[in-house]
A = this chain, B = another copy of it.
Amino acid sequence: MKICYKFWLENEKGKAFGDGPFDILNRIEKTGSLRQAALEIRMSYSQAWNLIRDLEKKLGYELLKRKVGGAEGGGSELTAEAISLQEKYNTFYRQVEEQINTIYQSVFKEK
C-alpha cells in the first residue's frame, strides 16, 4: 500500500496552478520556447497558449515574456513572477511530500 496525493492552488476564479502548469513552466524554462514545451507534452501550440493565458488571468500576472530576434527568431521566457511561483510551488511540494511520507509511516506502519 502507498499513499497518493494531488495538490493545486485555487482562488475564486477556479484552479489557478498545479502539477500540469508547473510541468509546462519547467519545460518552457528549459527549452526557451512555448512551442517546444507544448510539443514535448503532446499539446497543440494554441492549447498551450490558451492554458498559459487562462492561468495568467487567474493568477493576475503574466507568466511569459516574448524574446524577440536572435538566431532562433525569438521564443518565450518566464517572467520573474513565474519563476517565483515555480520556486515556491517546488519548495512547497518537496516539504509537504516529506511530511506526508513521515506521517504515513508513523500512522500506518507503526510496529
* B-binding residues in A (CB < 8 A): 1-11, 15-16, 88, 91-92, 95-96, 99-100, 103-104, 107-108
A17 to chain B: closest residue by CB:
B1
List B contacts of A10 (CB < 8 A).
1-4
CB-based contact A103/B99 at 8 Å: yes
Q: How many copies of this chain sit in the oligomeric assembly?
A: 2
Would A108 and B88 be within 8 Å (CB), given that A2-B10, A10-B1, A11-B1 are in contact? yes
Determine if A96 and B99 form an interchain contact, defined as CB atoms under 8 angstroms apart.
yes
Distance A75 CA – B30 CA, assembled complex (angstroms): 59
Q: Can you name the residue of chain B whose Cβ is closest to the Cβ of A108? A: B88
- Complex: how many Å from CA A101 to CA B91? 14
Within 8 Å by CB of A7, from B3, B9, B91, B95, lies B3
Would A96 and B88 be within 8 Å (CB), given that A8-B4, A9-B4, A16-B1 are in contact? no
The reply to whether A9 and B5 form a contact with Cβ atoms under 8 Å apart is no
